[in-house]
Structure 1
């Protein structure tokens, strides 16, 4: 079902960007370090929902940490803007899972900025804000 929702939401996106975005979401759910390394730019910055700035290494470390698990999620109110080799993708998602072995359940409004570099789409910036 998640794949069908992503495919439907991505009809207007270039095929390679839609695939990269799908792979990025799946890599977060499966804690796939290699895919995260491939899809996230070396100069990546995340402004997370706790008001902290994280770099690529810190974000990936959190995603693959023992005791961390993210359940599959659905993106609501999708935002998809493509401007040449730059794209803004985002929306609202309910993130549920475990962090440090403790359950979490938050609704986030997020934005990912993608850039096409050397023929491949990479996430360069993300912002996540908790939705009350």
Structure 2
């Protein structure tokens, strides 16, 4: 996978990966014409459980749990347009000196089509890396698929929102 910017990009990827799961922890609305703000409205219970487990595993940097929840053919498109496959994604959780300071998610929503689901939001994030403070605003989208009876995250897209 491409790695533009070396160590700094790796650290940014870690921040973005850790925050990818945070979008899944906030109240969601369906994409359908009747928007709802009552939690996981319209989300199958098994998907809601997988989303919750993914969020918890991400916040704990639980690589074993993440490995089970991330599809083998997982692709992450980072905000710098670089790509990561599953193993590279999991390896980022081993980077030292990283801590999420705070984040806010707005415009969160979901859509479920049979065995495929999309969860998205606008992420206002702040983190500390080796003592330095960083901030970003990102649009984030996760695609989940149900394969062999279980939900796994198959794709994540991160888009950096330009600063005003």
Give the TM bin, normalised by the shorter chain: 0.7 to 0.9
**RMSD over aligned Cα, in angstroms?**
2.4
How many positions carry a matched residue from both structures?
A: 131
1:97 is the counterpart of 2:120: no
> Cα 1:98–1:4, aligned 2, differ >3 Å: closer, same or farther?
closer
1:63 is the counterpart of 2:93: yes
Structure 1 residues 1-132: aligned runs within 5 Å: 5-6=26-27, 8-71=38-101, 73-99=103-129, 102-132=132-162
> Cα 1:59–1:100, aligned 2, differ >3 Å: closer, same or farther?
farther
Q: Distance in 1 between matches of 2:88 and 2:132?
A: 19
- Give deviations 1:54-79, integer Å, cap 9, x for gaps: 11111111123212233564432112
Asked whether the equivalents of residues 9 and 78 of structure 1 are also in contact (C-alpha less than 8 Å), the reply is no
> Cα 1:45–1:4, aligned 2, differ >3 Å: closer, same or farther?
closer
User: Based on CA coordinates, which of the two structures has the bigger radius of gyration?
Assistant: 2
Local SS of the residue matching 2:93: helix
